[in-house]
Amino acid sequence: MMTSSTAPALGPLVAVYGLVGHDERLLLVRDRDASAFRLPGGRVRPGESVEDALRRSLREQTNVDVAYLDFCATVELRDHDSPDEPVLYELALLFDVTLAGPEGAWASEHELRWLAEADLHQIELRPAVIAKRLRSDALTVERPWWPHHS
């Protein structure tokens, strides 16, 4: 019997992220122990609806409630940095989000930053496939599925 030198894939995990805009700027979050920024949001917990997960995550990260959300795209993410670690396979659901009172957003455990589209090129933004789409202005309603290879 042959053994594999790589760990098995995990997933698919489901995550939800908000494209939170205000005054022509996009909200990004950076965890205290991370170098890169990301969209606000997080993983969907077992038994939790996608919408509830997004509302919970945004509330935890910004201390502001969601006023409006609308589905935007699904992004297929695969991460495999080391042959000793399992492949991470994630479906990231992106939503267009409006916060109720975005000027009041604050966080004690995260860094929040509002950035104009032109500033997205100047920071480290993860995951790379989402960063590439945001930077290239390729986010359109006509392309709601972003496969891993694109």
Q: Which CATH number fits domain 10-100+109-146: 3.90.79.10, 3.20.20.450, 3.30.70.360, 3.40.30.10?
A: 3.90.79.10
pLDDT by 10-residue block (mean), the chain, 150 residues: 54 91 95 94 96 97 96 83 67 95 92 93 90 77 66
Written as six digits, the tokens of 54 are 């997004």
Burial class (CB in 10 A: 0-12, 13-18, 19+), 96: middle
Q: Which pLDDT score, from 0 to 100, does residue 2 have?
A: 47
**pTM confidence score:** 0.83
Evaluated on CA atoms 79, 45, 145, 71, the torsion sign reads: negative
- The ranges assigned to domains in the chain are 10-100+109-146
Q: Which helix (H) or strand (E) holds 122?
A: none
Buried b (16+ CB within 10 A) or exposed e, 43-55: ebeeeeeeeebbb
Q: Which pLDDT score, from 0 to 100, does residue 1 have?
A: 47
